[in-house]
Amino acid sequence: MEAVKCEAFLAAAELGSLTATAELLGYTQSGVTRMIGTLEEELGFPLFLRSKKGVQLTENGKLMLPLLREVVRAHHNAEQLSAEIGGVSKGSLTIGCYYSISALWMPEILTAFRARYPGVTVRMQEGGNLEMARWLNERSVDCCFGAQMHGDKYDWLPVFRDELVAWLPRGHELAEADAFPLMRLQNEPFIHTSPNHDTDQDRLLEQHDLHPQTCFTTRDGFTTYNMVEAGLGVSFNQRLISRKWSGTVAEVPFDPPQFVTLGISVPSLREASPAAKKFIACAIETVTGGEKSL
C-alpha cells in the first residue's frame, strides 16, 4: 500500500472533491481517481460514494480513515528521520492553534523555524478547544498550540501563563479601577464569544458557577472587542489576544486574579516526527527565549 495513495484518500476525505484534491496535491484529476481506485482494489471495497457534488466516505471508508492516516504519518516520519540521518531536514507539518496565537506568535515562530529548516512545510489550522481536541484525537495534526485539552490522551507542554482580564467600555464606572470583581460578571450585560465551545470564557464561567446576563454572542474575539468598545456590554479574554488591537477598551484585571496557561498538546511526544519535535522546540524557544530539548 503506497503512502501517496493514502495521502490522496485523506485529502479527498477532507475536501470532498477529487478536483480539489488534484489541485492540492499537484496531480491531474484522472491521476487522483486512478490512485484512489487502485487503493480501493487493494482493500477490496469502495472508500467513497461518488456524485456530481463530489465524494463522501462510505462507512468502510470512515473505518479506514484513522488507519490510513497512521500509514501516512509513519511514512512521513520515516522520510523525515532518514533525511535527518543524512543531514538534511525536510517534511511537512500540520499545526492547530488559537486564533490569537496564530496572529501574534506564529509569524515569529515560523520565521525562526523556516530559517533553520527551510525544507519543512507548515500548514496551520485555526480553531478553538473543541476543534483542536478533535484534531488531536483524529491525529490529523502534529500538535496544537492553545490551552490544555481535557483528558489524558495527549502529551502537554506548558509554555506561557497569560492573565484573563475584563473588557469594559471606556465609559464604564470601573474602567479606571485597579480590579474588576469576578462575581460582578453576573450583573453586567455580557458579550459571550463562542459559547458552549469549551473556550477560556466557558471554562472560567463554569469553574466559578457564573451565569452572566448574555445580551450578545459572537464567533470571534475581535468582534466581541469592538462590541465592547461600542458600549454594548462587557466581556473578558486573555491579555495576549488584544495586544496589537488599538481600540478604546479598558482591560481590567479580575479580583481575584485569573490566569490561563497556554502550551502545546501533542498526540504522543514519543511518537512525534523529527520535524514536529524540531518545531515544538523552536516554538518554545521563540516564545520563552529559552532552549528546549525534546
Q: Indicate if the pLDDT at residue 151 is higher than 90.
A: no
Q: How confident is the model at residue 92 (pLDDT cuts 50, 70, 90)?
A: confident
Average pLDDT value for the chain: 90
Judge contact between 95 and 142, C-beta under 8 A: yes
- Average of per-residue pLDDT across 20-29: 90
Give the Cα separation of 34 and 119 in Å (integer). 29
Q: Indicate if the pLDDT at residue 289 is higher than 90.
A: no
Farthest-apart Cα atoms in the chain, separation: 70
pLDDT tens across 49-85, in order? 999 889 999 999 999 998 898 888 888 777 777 766 6
- Average of per-residue pLDDT across 156-173: 96
**Angle (CA) 66 271 161, round 5°:** 100
Give the Cα separation of 123 and 253 in Å (integer). 35
Judge contact between 110 and 120, C-beta under 8 A: no
Give the Cα separation of 5 and 197 in Å (integer). 35
Percent of the chain with pLDDT strictly greater than 70: 95
Least reliable range by pLDDT among 22-31, 83-92, 250-259: 83-92
Q: Indicate if the pLDDT at residue 245 is higher than 70.
A: yes
pLDDT of residue 73: 82
- Average of per-residue pLDDT across 110-132: 92
Q: Indicate if the pLDDT at residue 86 is higher than 80.
A: no
Judge contact between 106 and 286, C-beta under 8 A: no
Q: Indicate if the pLDDT at residue 99 is higher than 90.
A: no
Query: Per the structure block, which three cell numbers stand in for 259?
Result: 490566569
Q: How confident is the model at residue 169 (pLDDT cuts 50, 70, 90)?
A: very high
- Average of per-residue pLDDT across 109-132: 92
What amino acid is encoded at 60 in this protein? Answer: N
Return the closest-CA partner of residue 203 out of 149, 249, 159.
Answer: 149
Give the Cα separation of 167 and 118 in Å (integer). 40
Residue predicted with more confidence, 271 or 183? 183
Q: How confident is the model at residue 286 (pLDDT cuts 50, 70, 90)?
A: very high
pLDDT of residue 37: 92
pLDDT tens across 126-150, in order? 998 999 999 998 888 999 999 998 8
Phi, psi of 220 (to 5 degrees): -130, 135
- Average of per-residue pLDDT across 20-42: 91
Give the Cα separation of 159 and 177 in Å (integer). 30
pLDDT tens across 195-230, in order? 999 999 999 999 999 999 999 999 999 999 999 999
DSSP the chain: --HHHHHHHHHHHHHS-HHHHHHHHT--HHHHHHHHHHHHHHHTS--EEEETTEEEE-HHHHHHHHHHHHHHHHHHHHHHHHHHHTT--EEEEEEEE-HHHHHHTHHHHHHHHHHH-TEEEEEEEE--HHHHHHHHHHT-SSEEEEEPPSSSSSEEEEEEEEEEEEEEETTSTTTTSS-EEGGGGGGSEEEEESTTS--HHHHHHHHTT---EEEEEES-HHHHHHHHHTTS-BEEEETGGGTT----EEEEEEEEEEEEEEEEEES-TTT--HHHHHHHHHHHHHHHSS----
DSSP 190-255: EEEESTTS--HHHHHHHHTT---EEEEEES-HHHHHHHHHTTS-BEEEETGGGTT----EEEEEEE
pLDDT of residue 72: 85
pLDDT of residue 229: 97
Q: Indicate if the pLDDT at residue 232 is higher than 70.
A: yes
Query: Per the structure block, which three cell numbers stand in for 269?
Result: 511526544
Give the Cα separation of 191 and 214 in Å (integer). 6
Q: Indicate if the pLDDT at residue 294 is higher than 60.
A: no
